[in-house]
Amino acid sequence: AIFNKSIKEIGGLNSYPKFVISRLWRDGNVSIPISEKIIKEGDRLLVITSEKNTPALTVLFGEQENTDWNKEDIDWNAIDSQLISQRIVVTRPELNGKKLGSLHLRNHYGINISRVYRSGVQLLATAELTLQLGDRLTVVGEAAAIQNVEKVLGNAVKSLKEPNLVAVFIGIVIGLALGAIPISIPGISAPVRLGLAGGPIIVGILIGTFGPRMHMVTYTTRSANLMLRALGLSLYLACLGLDAGAHFFDTVFRPEGLLWIGTGFALTVVPVLIMGIVTFKWLKIDFGTMAGMLCGSMANPMALNYANDTIPGDNPSVAYATVYPMCMFLRVIIAQVLLMFFING
């Protein structure tokens, strides 16, 4: 059904998942399939997509080869000597917030972009993907063409070594201001506030979503990102330990202490087990996504680190980042609403 159709026509089929065709072999020769390239019977295609979409794309294209092309020891530059694969970093600020398809790199330079590496997560390089400063693009093509693409994208890694603390400072200040704004809820006498935790989280989500679209540079070096993350986690655990440990033994060794511990254990473990069984057995969600979702719902970065170390792939991190903002927001709001409800009652 796809014989004598162009790559552009095949890619426009909305009933199939998104994919990128990185290379095309025909009569022993390898080439970059630009959007006008016509697919012929017997062509061998290297298709980049998510693992879960493999069966659907096999139905679309035909037979899948048994060779595992995802092994780390595969040297693509040796497999097809005509083309090379190189990772290029987006360092030009004017590209921040632009869609990858708007650059027309494949048609202008005869190259292909198969993957985009951002903040430890690999993304599929579709035309609708919005570029951000610091994105690492896997580019496939001839050496001369890749050199021209480097000039377009920048690839000046040294310019990214300085941490961009302006966005962090703006996010913290606006977040603290937003957290202090009282929100009136009908039926509750006292207003509810997002607080020191909810305000910066909401502003961080908004900046992360709309910042690149407004060409606001939100890139922070990985070392600075890890430092801020570890510092926040350390402060969180330190304050939590100081608050919970002040009267720990007095609480535990009282007659009702074991009752409180048992109740807390049940409230923590039982919902996790129920949601784990529902998502894993009934909804057929993979274990990595389920683990990240549960870690995000409990705001448990320690468990996420364990999941990332034991489960291959980016599914735990992606699921954690997906559910964490909403769950953290609900924790802040619901805790105050329940407190006001019982006080008023």
Structure tokens at 268: 């923590």
Residue 137 has what pLDDT? 92
Which CATH architecture does the domain made up of 7-159 adopt? Answer: 2-Layer Sandwich (3.30)
Total residue length of the chain: 345
Cα 61 to Cα 13, 75, 203, 240: the distances in Å are 12, 25, 44, 55
What is the pLDDT averaged over residues 114-137?
Answer: 85
Q: What is the pLDDT of residues 20-56, one digit of tens each?
A: 888 888 887 888 887 888 999 989 888 888 878 888 8
pLDDT at 70 over 80: no
Residue 261 falls in which region: left (phi positive, over 0), alpha (psi -120 to 50) or beta: alpha
Q: What percent of the chain has pLDDT over 70?
A: 90
User: Tokens for 111?
Assistant: 């190259």
Q: For residues 288 and 121, what is the distance between their CA atoms, to the nearest angstrom? A: 14
Query: Using 50, 70 and 90 to split pLDDT, how confident is the model at 274?
Result: very high
pLDDT score, position 249:
73
55-64, 178-187, 294-303, 315-324: least confidently modelled range? 178-187
Q: What are the structural domain ranges in the chain?
A: 7-159, 162-344
Q: Per-residue DSSP letters for 221-251?
A: -HHHHHHHHHHHHHHHHHHHHHHHHTTHHHH
- The model carries a pTM of 0.67
User: What is the per-residue pLDDT across 13-22, written as a single tens digit (0 to 9) for each?
Assistant: 777 888 888 8
What is the predicted pLDDT for the residue at 72?
Answer: 64
Can you give the pLDDT at residue 244? 63
Q: What is the pLDDT of residues 244-263, one digit of tens each?
A: 666 777 777 777 777 888 88
Place of tokens 């679309």: 60
